Amino acid sequence: MALAARQQAKHVDLGTSTTFRKQRYNRDGLDKVSLRRINCTLQISLNRMSKCCSSHCVITSAMQTNKYEPLLSNESTLIIVRHGESMWNEKNLFTGCVDVPLTRKGVEEAIEAGKRISAMPFDVVYTSALVRSQMTAMLALTQHCCQKVPIFIHNDNEEAEIWNKIYSQDTKNESIPVIKAWQLNERMYGDLQGLNKQETAEVFGKEQVYKWRRSYEVRPPNGESLEMCLQRAVSYFKDNIEPQLMAGKHVMVVAHANSLRSIIMYLDNLTPQEVINLELSTGVPMLYIYKDGKFIRRGSPAGPKEAGVYAYTSDLARYKDKYNTMR
């Protein structure tokens, strides 16, 4: 009789049989209150899983805990994005470190950027301290396939850390940290900030304005040169972002034309003369693969259906396959 009962129990669906769960827990000596708590926890977990499936989230045991599968090789992905069009971009004004929001077009660019990287894995996001960068990052992440909640990390002081603390591990697992850094801010344009670019060129001459805007060492009046911007942006990248990539984390950086030009100069080993001609469009993501201590530039992802982009690494291919399985 006991043997027959054990054989019959082997064929019971453990995921759906409430009776079996009650019998198993009762044999372990749990009381009815404990049993109700366990059943309640199981039901909450099933509801969360169902909700995630309905939103096209990639369902795997690793993804549910916000952890990607171990890397098959020493590789990770870096996405860099210049913010969408700002209200001063639209007006053709020198913006620099003035904190200006996006235009409607900039919002659309941010959302489109998010669609193009919606099937890319992300573990952490970095933005500048300026709102146009932060808006772009947040809007882009609303398009991500797993619908993780982007949450800014406020750790300026002990009080900020306490007030910003999340006490649910499940909630942490369903979110993605967003870290803001002033070192990733746009180049400070000094006395030019707020001036119209065309009018400034008419007053000082196109050649002089071009030197202020594009040269490597020349500073605008009371502003930063690209070389000065590079020192702070690249130093921050080396100290904070590159270690994440070395650890196998997938990273997105949303910043500005000159701070990103500085970082790209480092990633691509560009000379000061080469970086002068580097153009970055607003709201267009750029993909790099970090592998074996080297950065490999792969251009701009065209969207989750672009097979060529995901052939660059085994991790991207696996991530895309999981995403497509749930579509």
Answer whether residue 287 is part of any domain. yes
Measured distance CA(145)–CA(139) in Å, rounded: 13
Based on the fold, state whether residues 33 and 172 are members of the same structural domain.
Answer: no
Answer whether residue 273 is part of any domain. yes
Measured distance CA(52)–CA(322) in Å, rounded: 14
Based on the fold, state whether residues 240 and 319 are members of the same structural domain.
Answer: yes
Measured distance CA(77)–CA(69) in Å, rounded: 14
Based on the fold, state whether residues 308 and 264 are members of the same structural domain.
Answer: yes
Domain that holds residue 26: 2-54
Answer whether residue 194 is part of any domain. yes
Measured distance CA(116)–CA(114) in Å, rounded: 5
What is the structure's pLDDT at 300? Answer: 82
Which of 191, 221, 220, 201 is closest to 92 using CA atoms?
Answer: 201
Based on the fold, state whether residues 82 and 50 are members of the same structural domain.
Answer: no
The CATH number of the domain holding residue 101 is 3.40.50.1240
Backbone angles phi, psi at 82, to 5 degrees: -80, 140
Q: Which amino acid is at 96?
A: G
Please state, as a whole number, how many other Cβ atoms lie within 10 Å of the Cβ of residue 265: 20
Based on the fold, state whether residues 31 and 140 are members of the same structural domain.
Answer: no
Answer whether residue 88 is part of any domain. yes
Based on the fold, state whether residues 262 and 119 are members of the same structural domain.
Answer: yes
Backbone angles phi, psi at 127, to 5 degrees: -130, 170
Based on the fold, state whether residues 137 and 197 are members of the same structural domain.
Answer: yes
Catalytic residues: 83, 186
Strands, E assignment, the chain: 75-82, 124-127, 149-152, 175-180, 251-255, 285-291, 294-299
What is the structure's pLDDT at 206? Answer: 95
Answer whether residue 130 is part of any domain. yes
- Domain boundary pick from 10, 27, 54: 54
Backbone angles phi, psi at 270, to 5 degrees: -80, 150
Quote the tokens at residue 130.
């300026």
What is the structure's pLDDT at 303? Answer: 63
Tokens 């772009």 -> residue: 136
What is the structure's pLDDT at 14? Answer: 33
**Radius of gyration of the chain from its Cα atoms, rounded to whole angstroms:** 25
Answer whether residue 59 is part of any domain. no
Measured distance CA(60)–CA(139) in Å, rounded: 25
What is the structure's pLDDT at 319? Answer: 61
Instruction: Please tell me the total count of domains within the chain.
Output: 2
| Position 131 pLDDT exceeds 60 | yes
pLDDT band per the 50, 70, 90 thresholds, residue 35: very low
Which of the residue ranges 26-35, 112-121, 156-165, 248-257 would you say has the lowest mean pLDDT?
26-35
Based on the fold, state whether residues 89 and 214 are members of the same structural domain.
Answer: yes
Answer whether residue 274 is part of any domain. yes
Which of the residue ranges 223-227, 229-233, 288-292, 318-322 would you say has the lowest mean pLDDT?
318-322
Which H/E stretch holds residue 38? helix 32-54
Based on the fold, state whether residues 134 and 274 are members of the same structural domain.
Answer: yes
Q: CB of 57 within 8 A of CB of 50?
A: no
Answer whether residue 244 is part of any domain. yes
Q: What angle do CA 303, 305, 311 make, to 5 degrees?
A: 95
Q: CB of 133 within 8 A of CB of 106?
A: no
Based on the fold, state whether residues 29 and 109 are members of the same structural domain.
Answer: no
pTM (2 d.p.): 0.74
Based on the fold, state whether residues 285 and 212 are members of the same structural domain.
Answer: yes
- Domain boundary pick from 30, 54, 78: 54
CA distances from 172 to 21, 65, 143, 148, 167 (A): 29, 9, 19, 10, 8
The whole-number average pLDDT for the span 10-14 is 37
What is the structure's pLDDT at 276? Answer: 85
What is the structure's pLDDT at 133? Answer: 98
Based on the fold, state whether residues 154 and 17 are members of the same structural domain.
Answer: no
